[in-house]
Structure 1
């Protein structure tokens, strides 16, 4: 991962201002005094890198950060994940609208090109040195930074050659995901995972049926399921021009129904945001993607729906140096009940090499180990900032076979490959134990407490907790077995009309927990791992009158909820 230079530049500037004064005549050349006046308080808000850019060009892209953040504490009092996300969206947008008003008024007065962001309370501006200086004088502006990019890590150390199918891959078996499928009876049903990556080839047979935008009748609706902020993909549909995003998504949910069982939670659904244009990720796309995760929008970026936010977001990207620029996004995800999974970086084997945002205390990052349970040489080590444990956990990340665009499969290596295992294990957990859904802290504690302790004294710590393996090696089965599942039952049924099965019917179960699914081609549906209790179940599809029924789910049993829909009256309308 390529480092971001902002922090190192600031550190270098600080060092230059504190050099020792040496006596004249001691054999040391003395530099002439700098004739330029010291920068003013307003000028010091402008990043030196940006000042240089603005001296060399009439206009540059820069970021205006305001000095306040929204209070998200109210989200913690909400009972459902959808309500948490709605509260975060409202608080963030209201705060940004109020505090950015004068800055935006100044930008419009200057006829400057700008984009407002609510997720971090910042405004992206294309402007001149004079405009930057004017904005820096405003008291509510805390800093003005240059526009940077984050490199999307290339797979390291793994074979990129075509590999043969091997049923359940070694990495999936190693974390005991198949045992979760068999013993707990869950494969991630009812959970939506997302990635911010290079995109996804949604036509790939290993991930196509798991795409939330695919209907039971085979049609697609990409609204609220796909986001391409830079408009890279030619069609308004998911694409991947790098391989990376399709590979990480395959590790989370991949299963082609045959021998290619490459995913940890193949029963989960997926959505995606293309935060990385090609081999790198612009700040604009990463921030826009961070907003979209909290509240997915239609294909025009309008009409946000926080109720359609994913449960888990995987981030297999980052820098090799610490930078807190993405901190507010991660905090917003947590407040919204969205689990933030990150790769820990590929800058090992030295210690203190964890990269951002994976090195944040609020991010859950994964290191990488190989088929022999040995840590990968490239896997970044901790400690993190302030001495915190990093990575949080270790997962398979060497020669991981997964999907790539065009229908193929390849084996890649990197902590990029490790993090999706952790993200998808959360999907298994929340599917198996609905009471955990949206509870980030308890989920982290469960992952930590059930990881297989793996000793390494290289970068400090103990056998149980060290800065090479973190809490240990990921164990999905132990995590699910340790989860507070409570009394669990299931609900299944068939939707018909006129005696014939109806595919693509949206079935919603509203009760102790909420679940939504669609009927298969034969009209059947199933909710596994529902908390015991009374549910109101609704079956609805355009062209039919919706139907609702009450169903009681009891422990260790499958309740039946069949529906017979009446086709609505229809007619033809023509005109010019």
Structure 2
């Protein structure tokens, strides 16, 4: 591959402690900050005055200082140190808000992953929050309707390995003995029909005879968010899917029923799941709650989190639409928090179509998320796939990072069925599955998110394009239409092999 020498020339070495600090957005020596009065979403104030109460996210000003992490550097697992620092910061800085909310009879949920508190506030409590200098912002925890794909039709008969799985190069790694084994694949979505034949054998909570949902499943939907009641209820104790979208997306990542329905990229991985939408409607708080669960899964009561059981990669096929008022800075902090724990965050780029600048929703816009657009069976860009650059935050960053098959994708569906769906929701799980394959085939990369992402970028196949965005020249790579190109996990694996053989050492960080 002609780009390999150029890639090797750009290798940089970065210390683990520095990487943790950068990923958390930490400024050295900053801790327990006091500041000006918080920003309060005007919509929340207006709704509290008219409806009585409003759901909000109270984002605290404090983040753990770099020194708070560095003094824990001698612990055997850096992840435990990071989580401890985040939890200690949250416990200290949130105590006043939690006490005030409970004194007023308001329920509240604490999120240490973003140092935020979700609660129902009335106008008086909002006024109290505006006077708290340790509060950075009060964000409206708005119900958000996800743009989810609808079925393209009933899937045909069993056909062995699906075309899209072959297209991204997964069978080549299977043939070498790497199927994602040893990797925990997480999905945050509409839930999962866990007993589907293509999914049940791969559930981390299933040992072949007994199901254990503690630490493997969480329902972040605790009350009605959507327009009508859903079939799963709320705070469901066992995995359930009220829509079908999550079941389909998970199948693309890991699905295989052992009887010919080879629909998933990494069937050797074990999955865990969290429901963050109610009939396709979520909130920033439900998205954050699932991310926190994957960072340190907890028991069936929501207690005793265990960072040792955290996910390796998270597939996120949803958006937090800015068009519907999503301005949650807390969600960005949560994504950065899980990344600091060595968890790859893969997200769908969005389905807003041909116009440039349509990668516009969190978390796809974030630098800390690996965003995926969609192609069809001819490697042409899907007409619905969102294009970059990211303009909504003023960054102008190139998105998507890569593209993957997302048109007419056959995967698992409700009722032990299979169906065809199209969307960037279908593209993202291919990349999450590819992360699992790379980490099972190259353990040296495990939890090295930066280098893993760069291997996927550099191994991507350049596809034919007829469109440019962001002032680019046709034929330049990466670009704001297809990023670095179409996913090819076999090429990414070969690239890692080549670099390791040349360097005979751990693959260092590659400058973006």
Normalising by structure 2, report the TM-score. Answer: 0.82
* Matching of residue 408 in structure 1 with residue 417 in structure 2: yes
Kindly provide the CA deviation profile for residues 11-46 of structure 1, in whole angstroms up to 9, marking residues without a partner as x.
Answer: xxxxxxxxxxxxxxxxxxxxxxxxxxxxxx85x832
The Cα shift of 1:114 comes to 2.1
CA distance in 1, matches of 2:75, 2:162: 33
Structure 1, unmatched stretches of 5+, are: 1-40, 489-512, 514-576
More strand by share: 1
Instruction: Write the mapping of 1:247-262 to structure 2, written as runs, cut at 5 A.
Output: 247-262=248-263
Checking the alignment, whether the CA contact within 8 Å between 1:82 and 1:307 is kept in structure 2 is no
* Matching of residue 399 in structure 1 with residue 408 in structure 2: yes
CA distance in 1, matches of 2:237, 2:463: 46
Shift in CA distance, 286/124, structure 1 to aligned 2, threshold 3 Å: same
Shift in CA distance, 265/51, structure 1 to aligned 2, threshold 3 Å: same
Kindly provide the CA deviation profile for residues 156-189 of structure 1, in whole angstroms up to 9, marking residues without a partner as x.
Answer: 5x6132322211111001111111211x321111
Residue of structure 2 equivalent to 1:516: none
Residue of structure 2 equivalent to 1:133: 127
In the comparison of the two structures, how many residue pairs are matched? 446
Normalising by structure 1, report the TM-score. Answer: 0.73
The Cα shift of 1:64 comes to 1.7
CA distance in 2, matches of 1:363, 1:333: 10
Residue of structure 2 equivalent to 1:160: 153
Kindly provide the CA deviation profile for residues 294-328 of structure 1, in whole angstroms up to 9, marking residues without a partner as x.
Answer: 00011111111110011100000003438444111
CA distance in 1, matches of 2:497, 2:309: 25
The Cα shift of 1:71 comes to 4.0
Checking the alignment, whether the CA contact within 8 Å between 1:75 and 1:336 is kept in structure 2 is no
Of residues 182, 202, 212, the one that matches 1:190 is 182
Instruction: Write the mapping of 1:27-176 to structure 2, written as runs, cut at 5 A.
Output: 45-71=39-65, 83-155=77-149, 159-176=152-169
RMSD of the alignment, in Å?
2.6
With 426-435 and 118-127 compared, the bigger mean Cα shift is at: 118-127
Shift in CA distance, 125/347, structure 1 to aligned 2, threshold 3 Å: same
Shift in CA distance, 287/278, structure 1 to aligned 2, threshold 3 Å: same
Q: Secondary structure at the match of 2:261?
A: coil
Residue of structure 2 equivalent to 1:236: 237
* Matching of residue 302 in structure 1 with residue 303 in structure 2: yes
The Cα shift of 1:458 comes to 2.1
Residue of structure 2 equivalent to 1:351: 356
Q: Secondary structure at the match of 1:423?
A: helix
Checking the alignment, whether the CA contact within 8 Å between 2:55 and 2:142 is kept in structure 1 is no
Of residues 477, 481, 488, the one that matches 1:468 is 481
Checking the alignment, whether the CA contact within 8 Å between 2:75 and 2:81 is kept in structure 1 is no
The Cα shift of 1:356 comes to 1.3
Residue of structure 2 equivalent to 1:3: none
* Matching of residue 220 in structure 1 with residue 221 in structure 2: no
Residue of structure 2 equivalent to 1:179: 172
Shift in CA distance, 366/78, structure 1 to aligned 2, threshold 3 Å: farther
CA distance in 2, matches of 1:412, 1:348: 16
Shift in CA distance, 167/415, structure 1 to aligned 2, threshold 3 Å: same
Checking the alignment, whether the CA contact within 8 Å between 2:69 and 2:85 is kept in structure 1 is no
More helix by share: 2
The Cα shift of 1:121 comes to 1.3
Of residues 200, 218, 221, the one that matches 1:208 is 200
Q: Secondary structure at the match of 1:425?
A: helix
Shift in CA distance, 455/467, structure 1 to aligned 2, threshold 3 Å: farther
CA distance in 2, matches of 1:115, 1:309: 20
CA distance in 2, matches of 1:392, 1:73: 33
Checking the alignment, whether the CA contact within 8 Å between 2:218 and 2:293 is kept in structure 1 is yes
The Cα shift of 1:78 comes to 8.9
